[in-house]
Amino acid sequence: MGIGRILPLITVFLLAQACGYELVRNSGLQGPSYSSPGSVGEPITSLNVPVFKNKTFEPQVPQIFTEAFSQELAASGLVQINRPASEATLQGTVTSVSATFSALTGQGLALQKVVTASVTLSLSRQGNVVKTWALGDSETYDASSINSEDFNKRAALVRIAERIARRFHAQLISGY
């Protein structure tokens, strides 16, 4: 291969390395929708995420949802999570968790169930609620073995919490 063929390839390679997209301009949550009344819209750079409140009879769900939301927000790098004197607080409440039959055997035993979970979230800044959300999701899990049904339900709740947290994060950064 001659220098005449290599030089254009090197040029294209170097130009391609210089191209890129700016995904996040500034750190923090931007926009007037996250400012408290009377504020000029300073970005939120630190967020307190206390343990979710629980209005269900499922004792493990507050921990599952708190962990999913904390991990999603921390992984984004957009805000610092649970720092002393955080600028804002995200309070979550698990409002409902229910399981219903999805598939039955010929003898009427459950093969599959669908678990559905709903949460409400409120973003507060300086003691004022600036935004609220209500989100929910459901997932089918295997209920054919009584020995693994609780494990499968918990795993389904973890996946639901992760999906809701991703959906919330997408809404949060888009300002909705």
Q: Which of 7-11, 65-69, 153-157 has the lowest mean pLDDT?
A: 7-11
- Write down the pLDDT at residue 103: 83
- Write down the pLDDT at residue 21: 43
**Using N-to-C axis directions, what is the helix angle for 149-174 and 61-76, rounded to 10°?**
40
* pLDDT of 59 higher than 90: yes
- Write down the pLDDT at residue 154: 97
Write 154-158 long-range contacts (CB < 8 A, 24+).
154/60, 154/64, 156/115, 157/58, 157/60, 157/61, 157/64, 157/97, 157/115, 157/117, 158/64, 158/68
* 27-174 is classed CATH 3.30.160.150: yes
d(CA 140, CA 157): 10
The full set of domain ranges for the chain reads: 27-174
- Write down the pLDDT at residue 38: 44
Residue 105 three-state SS: coil
pLDDT digits (tens, 9 = 90+) for 9-20: 676 666 656 554
Q: Tell me the pLDDT band of 24, cut-offs 50, 70 and 90.
A: very low
* pLDDT of 25 higher than 60: no
d(CA 120, CA 139): 19
* pLDDT of 86 higher than 80: yes
Specify the higher pLDDT residue, 19 or 42: 42
d(CA 60, CA 103): 25
pTM of the model: 0.78
